[in-house]
Amino acid sequence: MTNFKFKNQTAFYSGKVRDVYTISDEWLVMIASNRISAFDVILPKQIPFKGQVLNQVAAFMLDACKDICPNWLTSIPAPNVAIGKKCTPFKIEMVVRGNLVGHAWRTYKSGKRELCGATMPENLKENDFFPTPILTPSTKADAGHDEDISIDEILSKKLATKIELEKICEYALALFERGKKIATEKGLVLADTKYEFGKIGDEILLMDEVHTPDSSRYFFADGFETRQITGEKQKQLSKEFVREWLIENNFMGKAGQTVPEMSDLWIDTISKRYIDLYEILIGKKFEPQLISDEEIFLKIEASLSELL
């Protein structure tokens, strides 16, 4: 965790993977750490260069989607740092699913055919495409686990107005289509992802990271259909392989469970998988940048002085 003190700093928050500084109640400085979380638990060891990968993929994707809806990002002063507008967040995450994977598959396998008010068709296999992408929102918990929520429940709990929610749903589905297009061009399938939105006045903005390996699941498109037919496990580039490893080692973030030991080889494997996804999505070789906390601080201060 970083421990900076910036001029006009008004708040600080250390999240699962990022440290967030509020400046003059108007700007946010987000420092992407090398921490990794799964099942809402921060794992005990860090992943080299993960923060840089996430920050730079998110910046690339926000720029690629800025014509769909406005977003919070203003500048990237350091490899793992983003500065942007402070929004009032909606306490929901808009999860869009194009394929039956992850939480949706676990729900489906249990016999249920409805998730967050969305109906899932019969006779699907794990990783199959839905006829059309579905929206399965969740609450955005300040602490602990996020929880599934339906569109109707969002309205009844007044987490957004009807007009706001319609716009958010419209944005989320359009962003997913853009993400799918970018993924397809890179030989990938964007299986599912999540978006977070906030407001400044009456304007709704896209917040947080977008289409990163932490917020999305990607499969390799080459051979995807063949693997579905034969029942072979899909090749993927996302954080899901970390979740699968934890499940195989009897950890799902539940009380009394212990995080399995993370060997140096396993940590190196995770780091390489993040870098692989960067290079495929961005289309260029990843350049690791080692930068001291002092350099990061000075770059942030210089960027903030321009904004302020």
- Say which residues have a Cβ less than 8 Å from residue 173's Cβ, sequence separation at least 6: 96, 133, 135
Give 80 or 145, the one with higher predicted confidence: 80
CA dist., res. 30 & res. 138, Å (int): 23
Other beta carbons within 10 Å of 82: 26
Rounded alpha-carbon distances, angstroms, from residue 244 to 149, 172, 240, 277:
24, 26, 6, 18
Q: Around 269, how many Cα atoms within 13 Å sit in the side-chain half-sphere?
A: 9
Q: How does the average pLDDT of the chain come out, rounded?
A: 94
Q: pLDDT tens digit string along 152-163?
A: 999 999 999 999
CA dist., res. 53 & res. 129, Å (int): 28
Residue 144: the pLDDT is 54
Q: Is 139 exposed, middle or buried (0-12, 13-18, 19+ CB in 10 A)?
A: middle
Q: pLDDT tens digit string along 64-111?
A: 999 999 999 999 999 999 999 999 999 999 999 999 998 999 999 999
* Two structure tokens written together for 278: 């960067």
| Helix ranges, 65-158 (H) | 102-109, 151-156
CATH superfamily of 89-243: ATP-grasp fold, B domain (3.30.470.20)
State pTM to two decimals. 0.90
Residue 91: the pLDDT is 95
pLDDT at 132 over 90: yes
Other beta carbons within 10 Å of 272: 13
Domain borders along the chain are 89-243
